[in-house]
């Protein structure tokens, strides 16, 4: 398949984006770098299993070159006036918005997600540039008289330094801009390592940043089939002062250990096991809409996806029946098809995991309401599936399903629901549905998680702090908190 021919210009006033930009090389120091004879990484369309394109496979030397490029650009970008940085970020937002259709189609091709989900991702990803364009000019310090009155306290905020950013495959645009935008707003330079399953979006966005006026070396992009050694080589450079990672908890633990060797500041958005709690007094339509959104956004391939659905006994059967009807009605198909409501999973391995978890739950007594059978056709598909009476000791009770499977269990009391929600090492997101606002807020506070959707199935917002507790991560992305992750506070004591 010729990817370069798949995406027309978004506007006649703008040059067309090149979806195969990554085939030109690694993006280092504003240049496309691809030495002759270097191996490549194939990028596969999950909807067809066809190879879309190939991207370079970076070596340790490439990683060091990317850090060198970021270091060379650091002083100039740090000294760039905040207003100028703000205008560049705003231009990134405008260009992403103008090219939204192109970007959505590319994301759908390499990730497999339904086109409607891809469009939503582009809008969400672009918002991080708009939000942080405004944050860039509002980074301020503090000035105060010390309590003892002997000196004044001045607090200034400085860019933390060179940042290594590692992003996953499930939101190839949003996970990148959620890190890049605040880093650039703070005055930092970055090296982005996107997932090798979905690297095309990252390379295309690199061309867009360049067009927006981001100077060479401020943003560098490299792909590799050896992420461990390549990341270790970058973190070994003493000029690197920040690691921001989104991915699994086991990989996050490994990266934390590597970063500890040079005492590098880390932000970690890791695994989730989100509970969704529906009380008897919930508005059923609101709860169903919220559950569908929390479960089926990106076909369930989201760290915030509802993984364990707990419904109080009085509403359990009605909720199960109506959720089954909605899930069974979803159209399964190729991501780029405008009619598709549930696209393929990212790889065959991902489907294998879903099959294992569903098989385990059924073997332990769960009831299959719809779906549950892998289609015998090309592509990494798994149908929308509902399981009821899922035993609490089933594997999907403690592992992320990361797919279109709704697993329902019943509960009797509020205390039981909270205990079930907290019975996990993870604490990223949770969802609560009830008409009783007092109960909703009380339960939200009792659940050990970084984010709660109260009577809504979507928590992500560029203006809000995104992140988890326990084994789900460190730090926050988004909101006013996001840019602080890329700043160091400097305290100056002085007598005036």
Residues marked active site are found at: 269, 303
Give the separation between CA 438 and CA 244, rounded to whole angstroms. 36
Backbone torsions φ then ψ of 404, nearest 5 degrees: -85, 50
Of the CA atoms within 13 Å of residue 174, those in its CB half-sphere come to 22
Contact 345, 120 (CB under 8 A): no
Which residues make Cβ contacts (< 8 Å) with residue 464, sequence separation at least 6?
451, 478, 479
Maximum distance among all alpha carbons in the chain? 77
The sign of the torsion formed by the CA atoms of 353, 354, 356, 357 equals positive
| CA–CA gap between residue 426 and residue 408 (Å, rounded) | 19
Q: Of 439, 101, 153, whose CA–CA distance to 281 is shortest? A: 439
- Given CA atoms 188, 93, 193, 53 in this order, what sign does their dihedral have? negative
Within 8 A by CB and 6+ apart from 178, the residues are 125, 128, 462, 466, 477, 478, 482
In degrees, rounded to 5, the angle at the alpha carbon of residue 336 between the alpha carbons of residues 334 and 339 is 75
Helix (H, G, I), strand (E, B) or coil at 168: coil
Q: Could you tell me which of 368, 404, 411 has the C-alpha nearest to residue 387?
A: 368
Whole-angstrom distance, CA of residue 320 vs CA of residue 201: 38
Q: Please provide the DSSP assignment of 403-472 as one string.
A: SSEEEEEEE-SHHHHHHHHHSSSEESEEEEE-S-HHHHHHHHHHS-SSEEEES-S----TTS-B--EETT
């Amino acid at each position: 398949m010729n990817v370069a021919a798949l995406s027309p210009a978004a506007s006649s006033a703008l040059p067309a984006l090149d979806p195969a930009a990554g085939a030109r090389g690694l993006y280092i120091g504003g240049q496309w770098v691809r030495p002759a004879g270097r191996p490549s990484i194939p990028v596969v369309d999950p909807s067809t299993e066809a190879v879309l394109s190939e991207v370079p496979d970076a070596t340790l030397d490439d990683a060091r070159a990317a850090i060198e490029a970021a270091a060379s650009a650091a002083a100039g970008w740090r000294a760039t006036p905040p207003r100028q940085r703000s205008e560049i970020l705003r231009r990134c937002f405008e260009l992403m918005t103008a090219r939204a259709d192109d970007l959505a189609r590319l994301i759908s091709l390499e990730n497999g997600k339904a086109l409607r989900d891809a469009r939503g991702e582009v809008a969400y990803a672009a918002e991080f540039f708009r939000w942080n364009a405004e944050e860039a000019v509002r980074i301020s310090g503090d000035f105060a008289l010390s309590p003892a009155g002997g000196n004044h306290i001045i607090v200034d905020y400085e860019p933390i330094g060179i940042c290594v950013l590692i992003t996953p495959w499930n939101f190839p645009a949003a996970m990148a801009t959620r890190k890049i935008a605040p880093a650039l707003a703070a005055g930092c330079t970055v090296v982005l390592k996107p997932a090798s399953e979905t690297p095309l979006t990252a390379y295309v966005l690199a061309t867009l940043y360049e067009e927006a006026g981001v100077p060479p070396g401020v943003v560098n992009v490299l792909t590799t089939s050896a992420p461990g050694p390549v990341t270790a080589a970058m973190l070994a450079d003493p000029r690197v002062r920040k690691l921001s990672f989104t991915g699994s908890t086991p990989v996050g633990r490994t990266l934390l250990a590597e970063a500890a060797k040079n005492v590098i500041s880390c932000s970690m958005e890791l695994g989730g096991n989100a509970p969704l709690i529906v009380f008897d007094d919930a508005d059923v339509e609101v709860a169903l809409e919220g559950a569908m959104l929390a479960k089926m956004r990106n076909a369930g391939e989201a760290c915030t996806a509802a993984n364990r659905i707990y419904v109080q006994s009085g509403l359990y059967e009605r909720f199960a029946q109506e959720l089954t009807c909605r899930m069974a009605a979803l159209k399964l198909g190729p991501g780029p098809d405008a009619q598709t409501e549930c696209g393929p999973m990212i790889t065959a391995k991902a489907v294998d995991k879903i099959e294992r978890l569903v098989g385990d739950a059924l073997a332990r007594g769960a009831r299959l309401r719809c779906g549950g059978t892998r289609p015998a056709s090309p592509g990494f598909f798994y149908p929308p599936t509902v399981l009821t009476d899922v035993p609490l000791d089933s594997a999907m009770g403690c592992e992320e399903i990361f797919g279109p499977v709704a697993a329902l269990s019943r509960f009797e009391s509020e205390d039981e629901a909270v205990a079930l929600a907290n019975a996990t090492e993870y604490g990223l997101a949770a969802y609560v549905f009830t008409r009783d606002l007092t109960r909703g807020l009380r339960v939200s506070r009792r659940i050990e998680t970084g984010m709660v959707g109260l009577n809504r199935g979507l928590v992500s917002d560029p203006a809000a702090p995104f992140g988890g507790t326990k084994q789900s991560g460190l730090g926050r992305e988004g909101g006013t908190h996001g840019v602080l992750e890329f700043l160091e506070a400097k305290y100056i004591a002085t007598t005036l």
